[in-house]
């Protein structure tokens, strides 16, 4: 699992944490479940490291932008080299 981005709400109460997996075809549901279970631990560690009064609620979401980019790249390659398809 790789964390790809974090978006904070304007009032800093919620952090949406985006992640991707090494296998783009893998089901992200077990990863979301694992991250949610570790959410309390992660918030506590963030609070210790960042030294802030209120640590945002962590919400985890699968980031499929790499998979989407690969699909677009494949479509472009197919359009540029239609004879290579067999």
CB-hemisphere CA count at 13 Å for 80?
6
Task: Round to whole Å and give the CA distance between 58 and 43.
Answer: 7
Give tens-digit pLDDT for 70-81: 788 888 988 888
Taking the model in full, what pTM does it have? 0.75
Give tens-digit pLDDT for 60-69: 999 988 777 7
Give tens-digit pLDDT for 28-57: 999 999 999 999 999 999 999 988 889 999
Give the model's pLDDT for residue 70: 79
């Amino acid at each position: 699992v790789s964390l790809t981005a974090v978006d904070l709400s304007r009032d800093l109460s919620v952090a949406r944490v985006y992640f991707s997996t090494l296998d783009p075809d893998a089901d992200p549901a077990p990863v979301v479940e694992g991250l949610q279970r570790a959410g309390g631990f992660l918030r506590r560690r963030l609070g210790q490291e960042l030294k802030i009064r209120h640590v945002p609620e962590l919400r985890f979401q699968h980031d499929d932008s790499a998979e989407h980019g690969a699909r677009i790249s494949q479509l472009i390659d197919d359009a540029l080299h239609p004879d290579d398809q067999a």
